[in-house]
Amino acid sequence: MSSTLKIASWNINSVRFRLGIVEQFLREHAPDILCLQETKVVDADFPAEGFRALGYVHQVVRGQRMHHGVAILSRVPIEEEQHFDWQANGEARHVGVRLASGVRLENVYIPAGGDIPDRELNPKFGQKLDFIERMTRWSESCCHPTVLVGDFNVAPLECDVWNHKQLLKVVSHTPIEVEALGRLQSSNDWVDLGRHFHPAPKRLHTWWSYRSPDHTKNDRGRRLDHMWATKDVAAQAVSHEVHEVCRSWLKPSDHVPLVTEFAM
């Protein structure tokens, strides 16, 4: 076993529909652990055998039919599975495990929040803000070395979107969402590994809308996917990559995978 540990995170937007590119990514990049969001499949129908054949024999899945769903697939032992209902309605949006090193790995899919950035006009936006607030309460009491990954559905910095001014009133980049995510980050001094290795204002996008047939032509991307770590774990991180090429693969997700390597 190598002296490093590679953790990947990817909102796959239906794991069965995009199984081919997930398997391609695993064969080409071989992360030790893959965290998936938006798997959109009940646990009984999760394509577990295909991942086992590639060496990902340790699996924790928490799915729902057609919506949401998260999973952790690992080539190294994982244990102490847990789920938090930060949505407060039973939706499958979180799964967490403990690694052999003692580090906790938390995989989360924060709600998108609908189209209107107003809690009164759009209940989904309120649910998103409440979700982040519940995460913040958890984070305040989190005392374990932890890696927190997933689709946060918030692009916090001005340089995390293709046009800051045009997106100020667009859900995912509004000031109220950015402030909420900022409170979550400061609640436990989380290190944003993406910006740790690729400091602002460097371009660093992880999502492009399906509305553009060729995402590279206008490059209207946003950084919605994140990897954070508590300071003790972040000190062991040696690299962080965004695999943007996957957005051009056959039947792509609108998100691309992130990989952080740790010297654990």
User: pLDDT tens digits for 169-198?
Assistant: 999 999 999 999 999 999 999 999 999 999
Give the domain 5-262 fold: Deoxyribonuclease I; Chain A (3.60.10)
* Alpha carbons 253 and 128: distance in angstroms, whole number: 22
* 154 has a pLDDT exceeding 90: yes
State how far the alpha carbon of 66 is from the alpha carbons of 10, 14, 45, 176, in Å.
Answer: 17, 8, 12, 29
**Residue 218: which H helix or E strand, with range?**
helix 215-218
Peptide bond into 111 cis (omega under 30): no
Sign for the pseudo-dihedral over CA of 228, 148, 146, 100 = negative
Q: Could you count the other beta carbons within 10 Å of the beta carbon of residue 45?
A: 13
Compute the mean pLDDT over every residue in the chain, rounded to the nearest whole number: 96
Tokens for 13? Answer: 């937007």
pLDDT category of residue 260 using cuts at 50, 70 and 90: very high
Angle at Cα 208 formed by Cα 173 and Cα 35, nearest 5°? 90
* 213 has a pLDDT exceeding 80: no
pTM: 0.96
* 1 has a pLDDT exceeding 50: no
Q: What is the DSSP letter of 10?
A: E
Portion of the chain with pLDDT greater than 90, in percent: 94
Query: What's the distance, CA 197 to chain centroid?
Result: 17
Pick from 136, 158, 241: nearest CA to 193: 241
Q: Determine the average pLDDT of the residues in 212-228.
A: 92
| 117 and 171 Cβ atoms separated by less than 8 Å | yes
